[in-house]
Amino acid sequence: MDDSDSQAFKDRTFVSSDGLTLHLRDYDPPAEATEDRLPLICLPGLTRNSRDFHALALILSRDPVAPRRVIALDYRGRGLSDWDENKDNYNLAVEARDVVEACTYLDIGRAAFIGTSRGGLILHLLAGMNPDLVAAVVLNDIGPVIEAGGLMKIRDDLNAARLPSAMEEAAALLKLRHSAEFPALSDSDWAEMATAIFRDIDGQLVPDVDPAIARQLLSIDFTKPVPDLWAQYERFARLPLMVVRGKNSALLSENTLTAMADRHSNLRIVRVPGQGHPPLLHSEPALQSIRTFLTAT
């Protein structure tokens, strides 16, 4: 990220209702440029952070015709937000509450949302907790049914022991682990992903997340069905809704997509070739589909 990119957003922090300092990135063009367009709030995956959305946020906030304010959050325990001493607070309900409190801090009463993986699950809850806040939803490779095999793969990847010594090695490790699902990615894509995932803490490159969050997955009993969120999904019925699926995704199945479409008459589905879970939203065809979808909000 060069200097001009770093100046494209403001780092902001607020204090949650239980006392944690939480961080977000605010890509905020001049108010007169955004007119009446709703802000876009981006919610990352389980162990990811606001840096995942940097490329997308740059494109949307700097759009020459229709720039839009973009906010990307670091949940508690991720990125530059405080880690929670009570590890039980790493759950969807608390994280959804944090999103509401972030919007209150920013004085945002209504917004469009993108939720990648865990972020999409949070949106299932948020649409019920604060329906007036949610104007439109993009679910990135997530739905009300999570495939157990895909979740087990995430568990195993996140709890792998090997850590890189440099960003170049981090990018190489990511490519080695995931290139079969992401043949469309270039070396520069892997390098960008590495800088989003890893951070130098006390001289060691580590995933930028409280390790307790990855360890939570080790306690899941996969002999039992993974709970679904169909009841919560029904809350999207009144909203513009789009789902982006990586065609090689092991977490969101085509059967679930079909069932989602059956329950939402205007669901827009975008499939991203050559990518798995989750696809990069600043790549095509996801990017143009998101821009078109947001035009109506």
Do you know the residue count of the chain? Answer: 297
Q: Please provide residue 92's backbone torsions phi and psi, each rounded to the nearest 5 degrees.
A: -60, -40
Neighbouring residues of 172: CB distance < 8 A, sequence distance ≥ 6: 164, 190
Query: How far is the C-alpha of 3 from the C-alpha of 5, rounded, in Å?
Result: 5
Query: How far is the C-alpha of 102 from the C-alpha of 85, rounded, in Å?
Result: 20
What pTM value is reported for the model?
Answer: 0.96
Q: Which residue is listed with tokens 């606001």?
A: 50
Query: How far is the C-alpha of 236 from the C-alpha of 97, rounded, in Å?
Result: 18
pLDDT the model gives residue 3:
43
In one letter, which amino acid is 165?
S
CA separation (Å) from 285 to 4, 50, 140, 280, 282?
A: 26, 22, 13, 10, 9
Measuring CA to CA, which residue among 200, 139, 131, 143 is closest to residue 166? 200
Q: Using the CB atoms, write b or e for 110-121: b if 16+ within 10 Å.
A: ebbbbbbbbbbb
Strand pairing class (111-116; 134-140): parallel
Q: Which residue is listed with tokens 């739905």?
A: 143
CA separation (Å) from 135 to 37, 72, 140, 143?
A: 11, 17, 17, 18
Question: Which residues does residue 115 pair with via DSSP β-bridges, in sequence order?
Answer: 43, 139
pLDDT in tens, the chain (297 residues): 444 576 899 999 999 999 999 999 999 998 888 888 999 999 999 999 999 999 999 999 999 999 999 999 999 999 999 999 999 999 999 999 999 999 999 999 999 999 999 999 999 999 999 999 999 999 999 999 999 999 999 999 998 768 899 999 999 999 999 999 999 999 999 999 999 999 998 889 999 999 999 999 999 999 999 999 999 999 999 999 999 999 999 999 999 999 999 999 999 999 999 999 999 999 999 999 999 999 988
pLDDT the model gives residue 103:
98
**Structure-token pair, residue 3:** 């200097």
pLDDT the model gives residue 160:
79
**Structure-token pair, residue 188:** 């520069």
Cα atoms in the Cβ-side hemisphere of radius 13 Å centred on 125: 16
Query: How far is the C-alpha of 269 from the C-alpha of 200, rounded, in Å?
Result: 38
Measuring CA to CA, which residue among 132, 214, 167 is closest to residue 51? 167
